[in-house]
Amino acid sequence: MDSELPKIKYLSDEKTKEMLKDMKGEKVGWVQVEEEKWCLPAKYVKQRHIYYNFEVNPDDTWVVTFPRSGTTWTQELVWLLSNDLNFETAKSVPLVIRCPFLEMSMAINDATSENLLEENKDNAEIESLLSNLSLTYEIARSMPSPRFIKTHFPLSLVPNILKSDCKVIYVARNPKDVAVSYYHFHKTVKVYDYQGDFEKFWDYFQNDLISWGPYWKHLKEAWAQRHNPNFLFLFYEEMTHDLLAATKKVAKFLGKSYKDEQYQEVADHLRFSNLQKNRMVNLTKDNTKVLFKADNFIRQGKSGAWHKMFTPELREKANRWIEENLKNTDLKFPFIDIYS
């Protein structure tokens, strides 16, 4: 029954009009969900029952992140460690098939899908691509066990994850780098086609008006689960600081053990210079055809790149916001000074 589903509220007409002007690819708008005011594409309204009631298997492994927090990197790591380092399959089957994005169909609004199809009419390959993207939850649902599934939803919007005995790996990344990466993503992906500058994007981000936000509530929900034996809270900065150590940490959580040279092989496979060349992992204009304006889905894979985008004034504004949200919490990003 709808009364049992997450409560929704549409953004005001004025705010929607402003955001649609900046994000020309969106076409429809956004909703705010529950008291946390999770910001999601309006298509969520039609599909929320699918996600909220999605049946989770106890032998599932879920990768949960706020967008642009090292999700793809972690998916490939988790899949390899869980599948006895099956590099042959990893190099021949796309990651989006091995570990589908649960709510991908919600992220692409119908109007943009129709436009993309019209632009590429009589192209059976593109029609098939868009059709598959519109049914990712069905792909996830019908996968044979053990399943590997990715989501950007906060844990409270896919409640069966924590009700199950499945494994969950949550990855958090510092907000400045997340915002910069998400900004470039919005500029690149036709579904958003963001027209504004970074400073305006940061305002949306800080004011919880970016899809899958609010950022801090997303992280804090997961941080509260960090002592759950089926839950691993991992920082992106751990992976950039020492990928080999992070690989061993994830393997231990998954109940896997390998030789040192095997861990090194995994770490080498996952180095960004290699992932950027890996067509099974890095989405490009060649293998997605119509969704991206830039050449690559994976960008730099670095921590601290935000320095190039923040003016002194914007950094001060961001620092005040970060300090306020870290107050009265022991959440701390390792290996970086988040303020400077």
Rounded to a whole number, what is the largest CA-CA distance in the chain? Answer: 58
Let me know if residue 192 belongs to a domain: yes
Considering the domain boundaries, does residue 318 fall inside one?
A: yes
Q: Is residue 320 part of a domain?
A: yes
Number of domains the chain is built from: 1
What string of DSSP letters covers 77-125?
HHHHHHTTT-HHHHTTS-HHHHS-BTTHHHHS-HHHHHHHHHHTTT-HH
| Tokens standing for residue 157 | 């919007």
Measure CA 36 to chain center: 19
pLDDT at 308: 86
Element spanning 15, H or E: helix 13-22
Residue among 313, 166, 317, 312 at smallest CA distance from 230: 166
pLDDT band at 296 (very low <50, low <70, confident <90, very high): very low
Give the Cα separation of 13 and 17 in Å (integer): 6
- 3-class DSSP state for residue 32? strand
Host domain of residue 116:
55-326
158-172 mean pLDDT: 97
- Lowest-confidence pick of 103-112, 229-238, 271-280, 294-303: 294-303
- Average pLDDT rounded to a whole number, residues 75-88: 96
Is residue 260 helix, strand or coil? helix
**Within-domain flag for 35:** no
- Percentage of residues in the chain with pLDDT exceeding 70? 88
Establish if 111 belongs to a structural domain. yes
240 domain residue, yes or no? yes
What is the model's pLDDT at position 18?
96
Determine the average pLDDT of the residues in 169-177.
Answer: 97
Share of the chain above pLDDT 90, in %: 73
Backbone torsions φ then ψ of 273, nearest 5 degrees: -60, -30
Specify whether the CB–CB gap between 298 and 282 falls below 8 A. Answer: yes
Q: In this structure, what CATH number is given to the domain that contains residue 145?
A: 3.40.50.300
For the chain, list the strands marked E by DSSP: 8-10, 30-33, 38-41, 61-65, 148-151, 167-172, 231-235
pTM above 0.85, yes or no: yes
The helix, strand and coil proportions of the chain, stated in percent and rounded to the nearest 5, come to 50, 10, 40
Distance between CA atoms of residues 276 and 283, nearest Å:
9
Read off the pLDDT of each residue in 240-247 and give the average, rounded to a whole number.
95
Is residue 193 included in any domain, yes or no?
Answer: yes
Query: What integer pLDDT is reported at residue 128 of this predicted model?
Result: 67
Residue 173 in any domain: the answer is yes
Mean pLDDT of 191-211: 96
CA 253 to chain CA centroid, nearest Å: 21
| pLDDT the model gives residue 282 | 58
Region class of 6: left (phi > 0), else alpha (psi between -120 and 50), else beta: beta
Whole-number pLDDT of residue 24: 92
Return the structure tokens found at 64.
């949960």
Give the other-Cβ count within 10 Å of 208's Cβ: 17
157-165-142 Cα angle (round to 5): 70
Spatial separation of the C-alpha atoms in residues 42 and 229, rounded to whole Å: 35
20-25-31-37 Cα dihedral, nearest 10 degrees:
-90
pLDDT in tens, 21-79: 999 999 899 999 999 999 999 999 999 999 999 999 999 999 999 999 999 999 999 99
Q: Please give the DSSP secondary-structure letter assigned to residue 169.
A: E
Measure CA 260 to chain center.
Answer: 30
The answer to whether 283 and 108 have CB atoms below 8 angstroms apart is no
pLDDT digits (tens, 9 = 90+) for 261-293: 999 999 998 987 777 776 677 554 444 445 766
